[in-house]
Structure 1
Amino acid sequence: MARERCNPGWKLSVETEMVRSNLKFALRGNHPPRPLVPPIYNSSTYELEDVREGEELSNTSSKNGYLYSRCGNPTVDVAAETIACLEGAEGSLLFSSGCAAISTCMTTFAKCGDHMVLCQPVYGGVNATVDKILVKLGLEVTYIKGNSLEEYKKAIKPNTKILYGETPANPTMSILDVEGFAALGKAHPQLVTMIDATFASPYLLQPLKYGVDLVMHSCTKYIGGHTDLLGGVISFASKEHGEALTATQIYLGNNMSPWDAFILHRSVKTLALRMDRHSENALKVAQFLQDHPKVEKVYYPGLPSHPDHELAKKQMRNFSGMLSFELKGSMENGVTLVENVKVISLAVSLGGVESLVCHPASTTHCDSYVPAEMRKAAGVTDTMIRLSVGIENAADLIKDLEQALDKVKI
């Protein structure tokens, strides 16, 4: 029908031809093109065959076509379906950021008067979203220290609707028993279990396979992997949860753009290669730091000295590229180190091909995100340094840390 409308039966004016030119297709041969790489569909809206089709597609649960890009876009759907395959999920939804994905989940499955249990530490942006927005809307929240299943169990109330976990935890690298977490949720049918597995990526850990309801990733990090996009993804185990999340996303309008989805889909193709290299490098860096006389403690689940090493080994394919460490002495020693690296960049975020270092207490977990007393209780000290190990040559990264540590006075 669209082709027929290109030729209405009379000669169109130049102005009209210019506007309608997007409906004319010049194809080579007798078949439409079949690109190896899915194209970017930048169109905000889609032409309908008839009114009935518009009525059908206006139903938020319909996946039989495209109406408006806030409600669905082919480029975004390709990337989402690829991640769903990685997760072993019923489906996935892509969002404009990780925080958008998390807030959509929380507002979908909890309302005013409901209760939610979260681990502590948790990404500072989650703290801010919960404490500065959701609590004001009437959501009751309990934070538990660490990832103890016993503490989660104690915190559950009759009005609890969400159990929220993070593994590996940001920035202490503690590991959640995913299978036990899922079982705890199943024992309370009113609960939805949700895990942020950003530090692991879908390549290293698939929580849905253990029975968790929802898994979230900041696509900005490992899945994107090149520090050039913002995004988040929620993958779900049940169709019902997917339909509820889809409706909320459409109403809030926080979906991912086609361009970011295109870049994301490209990046997923190298995720396995990158994660293997990140993990290999991080272990070498962690071993170096563990033996350095100016380092007090190293937090990396790949080290046998990590208290959750065996659990991480059981449920993760590898240990990722994220680690934290504490220097001996004061916070000033940490400042000296992060301001003197030359190969590693001082920046927030993580999971890119380049190595990044940051000081959580002054950035990702600063006072405006996480109150100081809560931060300290969770084990995020003023001397803690977080390192996202990239895919450079590990020897160069170690040499860079070594020269920066030489400038630290103990």
Structure 2
Amino acid sequence: MCDSNETGSLSFDTKAIHAGQEHERWSNAEIVPPIVTSVTYYQKDPTNIFAGYCYGRDGNPTRDALARCLAALDNGKYGLIFPSGCATTTAVIHLLQTGDHILSCSETYGGTRTIFLTQAKMQGIEVDFVDSTNVELFASAIKPNTRLIWLETPSNPCLKISDIAAIAKAARSHKDIIFVVDNTLMTSYFQQPMQLGADIVMYSLTKYMNGHNDVLAGALVINDSKIYEDLKLIQVKFGLTCSPFDCFLVNRGLKTLPLRMNKHCENGTAVARYLEKHPKVVKVIHPGLPSHPQYELAKKQSSGYCGLVVVQLSGTINEATKFIHNLKVFLSSDSFGTCTSFAVLPAYASHIDVPKEVREQLGIFETTVRLSVGIENTDDLIKDLEQALVKTFE
């Protein structure tokens, strides 16, 4: 249903516009895939109702158009669309059984960590969080009952980068391990985990893929037909499906993904370079800076950088709060990956459920500010940061 082989020879930019959008699939040869809202479909043969579309939970033409496009962008065979990024994580966990083991990178999105520590453990699944930037250490944590390796690279929020190919090799040396890479921060435009050995590529489509801050959605891209069929069954039986309208919006967002990601990369790198030189900034984390611990790996593994910049300010939580309040172009808001620039304190937002001692071990402090650099004018963004820093520390 979501096979993307026919677009394999096209460039990324062209696939983002054409993959899954074939006008021949639609009754009126629409160039833009229509929003099909019907939950049920007329059955010519009532003894074979699954020959085509049957029920909205089982399949939807608008959703499938998006799934085909996403699969093509990752050079994968299959795509599945979910109502959120957390829903994709929930689906993947249900591939496992009681007694299985999840090996996760030490720093993940806070919601992922919470799901692993609550839902997975309630299912009797073991979970370990290990520093994945140290491949030898991470590989040594694989157990006989490890069935899932979860990697988020770069990680949220501290942008730690892990060697996908090396970890894939470690996973392959053991039997029956599913290797998942959360590629939300980079998108398939800047990073191709499946080409580096991942079994599943996961996205919160809410972020860069949609890019306009008006959709909650998630996706999984898969190559293995058995894993795809298992996940499809989980999706259908748990009702983890995304609305046709939201799929339409993400599909539209993908058409400008290369343009937007290039601008995010340009702005994010410029902001990081500016802040790294500021006397009131203790530390700046961005993969495009030579000061980043995995700078060389980032250049090797990806073709660009997302718009996240992590800043540790001087002072206390008071200064960090004042700084965000003083910003005018950057808005005080959670999430990231939108056209609009945001600023947030991860310790009080995405990672509020993570114990303080664990947060600080990961490098997330009260004065850590995560900037999601949008696609506004570069000079305007830097001027906004400058005036906010002056007002905060005057």
Same fold (TM > 0.5): yes
Amino acid at match of 1:370: V
Select the residue among 53, 57, 76 that pairs with 1:70.
57
Q: 2:46 aligns with which of 39, 47, 51?
A: 51
Q: Any idea what SS the aligned residue of 1:288 has?
A: helix
| Distance across 2 between alignment mates of 1:81 and 1:147 | 32
1:159 aligns with 2:154: no
Match of 2:67 in 1: 80
Kindly indicate whether residue 374 of structure 2 is the aligned counterpart of residue 390 of structure 1.
yes
Question: Which residue identity lines up with residue 97 of structure 1 in the other structure?
Answer: S
Identity of aligned residues (%): 40
Judge conservation of contact 1:75–1:261 (CA < 8 Å) in 2.
yes
Letter in 1 for 2:39: S
Partner of 1:36 in structure 2? Answer: 31
2:241 is equivalent to residue 255 of structure 1: yes
Distance 1:396 1:250 in 2: 46
Given that residues 103 and 146 in structure 2 are in contact (C-alpha distance below 8 angstroms), is that contact kept between their aligned partners in structure 1? yes
The DSSP-based 3-state class of the residue aligned with 1:170 is: coil
User: What pairs up with 1:332-347 in 2 under 5 angstroms?
Assistant: 332-347=318-333
Whether the 8 Å contact between 1:96 and 1:231 is mirrored in structure 2 is: yes
Given that 2:139 and 2:167 are in contact with CA atoms closer than 8 Å, whether structure 1 keeps it comes out as no
- Residue from 295, 311, 316 that aligns with 1:325: 311
| One-letter amino acid of the structure 1 residue matched with residue 276 of structure 2 | Q
Report whether the alignment pairs 1:300 with 2:286.
yes
* Conserved 8 A contact 1:145-1:378: no
Alpha carbon RMSD of aligned pairs, Å?
1.3
Unaligned runs of 5+ in 2: 1-25
Q: Look up the SS of the partner of 2:175 in the other structure.
A: coil
Q: Secondary structure at the match of 1:408?
A: helix
Which residue identity is paired with 1:308?
Q
Separation in structure 1 between the aligned mates of residue 27 and residue 85 of structure 2, nearest angstrom: 36
Cα 1:97–1:339, aligned 2, differ >3 Å: closer, same or farther? same
CA-CA distance at 1:146 after TM superposition: 4.7
Distance of 2:240 and 2:170 partners within structure 1 = 31
Shift of 1:145: 2.9
Tell me, in whole angstroms, the C-alpha distance in 2 between the residues paired with 1:121 and 1:155: 15
How far apart, in 1, do the equivalents of 2:122 and 2:227 lie? 25
**Distance in 1 (alpha carbons) for counterparts of 2:363 and 2:132:** 9
Give a deviation string over 1:187-246, Cα, whole Å, max 9, x none.
112211011111101111110011110110100000000000000000012111111110
Contact 1:125 1:364 in 2 (8 A): yes
Q: Following the alignment from structure 2 to structure 1, what is the Cα–Cα distance between the partners of residues 177 and 355?
A: 28
Secondary structure in 2 matching 1:162:
strand
Residue equivalent to 2:213: 227
Residues 141/402 of structure 1: CA separation in 2 closer, same or farther (3 Å cut): same
- Helix, strand or coil at the partner of 1:183: helix
List gaps (5 residues or longer) in structure 1: 1-30, 58-63
Separation of aligned partners in 2, 1:107 and 1:32? 37
Counterpart of 1:408 in structure 2 is 392
Distance 1:251 1:404 in 2: 50
- Contact persistence 1:346–1:356 (CA under 8 A): yes
CA–CA distance in structure 1, aligned partners of residues 289 and 280 of structure 2: 18
TM-aligned CA deviation for residue 120 of structure 1: 1.6
Residue 288 of structure 2 aligns with an amino acid whose one-letter code is G
Secondary structure at the aligned position of 1:353 is classed as coil
Q: Is the 8 A contact 1:147 1:165 kept in 2?
A: no
Normalising by structure 2, we get a TM-score of 0.92
Matching residue's letter, 1:134: A
Distance 2:164 2:317 in 1: 34
Counterpart-to-counterpart distance in 2, 1:374 and 1:146: 16
1:239 aligns with 2:234: no
8 Å contact kept, 1:121–1:379: no
Over 3 Å counting, the alpha-carbon distance change for 1:146 and 1:381 in structure 2 is farther
Alignment of 1:3-402 (within 5 A): 33-54=28-49, 57=50, 65-108=52-95, 110-366=96-352, 369-402=353-386
CA deviations over 1:353-375 (Å, ceiling 9, x no partner): 00011000011101xx2121211
Runs of 4+ in 1 over 4 A off after TM superposition: none
- AA in 1 matched with 2:86: C
CA–CA distance in structure 1, aligned partners of residues 237 and 277 of structure 2: 52
The answer to whether the 8 Å contact 2:319/2:393 transfers is: yes
Matched residues in 2 for 1:148 and 1:246: separation? 34
Alpha-carbon contact 1:222-1:351 (below 8 Å) kept: yes
Which residue identity lines up with residue 144 of structure 1 in the other structure?
A: V
Q: How many residues align?
A: 369
Q: 2:262, 2:293 → 1: CA distance?
A: 23
CA–CA separation in structure 2 for the residues paired with 1:181 and 1:351: 26
Q: Deviation digits for residues 265-319 of structure 1, max 9, x if unmatched?
A: 1110000000000000111100000000000111000111111111111111101
The letter for the 2-side match of 1:266 is R
Distance 1:333 1:386 in 2: 14
